[in-house]
Amino acid sequence: MSDIEVRSTRLADGRELIYFDDRDSVLPSERRADPRHLDPRPPTATMRLDLLTGDWVSIASARQNRAFLPPAEFDPLAPQSDTNPSEVPSQYDVAVFENRSPSFGPALGDAENAPEGLADLAALGVGRTRTSVGRTEVVCFDPRTAGSFADLTPNRARTVVEAWVQRTAALSALDGVQQVFPFENRGEAIGVTLHHPHGQIYAYPYVTPRTQALLRQVDAYEGDLFADLLAFERTSGRVVLESDSFTAFVPFAARWPIELHLLPHRHVADFTELTEAEKDELAPLYLRLLRAVDALYDTPTPYIAAWHQAPVATHRDRVRLNLQITSPRRGPDRLKYLAGSEAAMGAWIGDLVPEQTAEHLRVALATADRERPL
SS3 content of the chain, % helix, strand, coil (to 5): 30, 25, 50
Up-side HSE of residue 37: CA atoms within 13 Å toward CB?
0
Q: Examine residue 332 and say whether the peptide bond preceding it is cis (omega within 30 degrees of 0).
A: no
Single-letter code of the amino acid located at 229: L
**Do 203 and 135 meet the contact criterion of CB atoms below 8 Å apart?**
yes
Annotated catalytic residue 37: no
**Do 180 and 153 meet the contact criterion of CB atoms below 8 Å apart?**
no
Single-letter code of the amino acid located at 14: G
| H helix count then E strand count, the chain | 7, 16
Q: Could you say which of 37, 195, 196, 198 is catalytic?
A: 198
What are the angstrom distances between the C-alpha of 139 and each of 244, 266, 336?
Answer: 28, 27, 28
**Do 198 and 138 meet the contact criterion of CB atoms below 8 Å apart?**
yes
Query: Which residues are tagged catalytic?
Result: 198
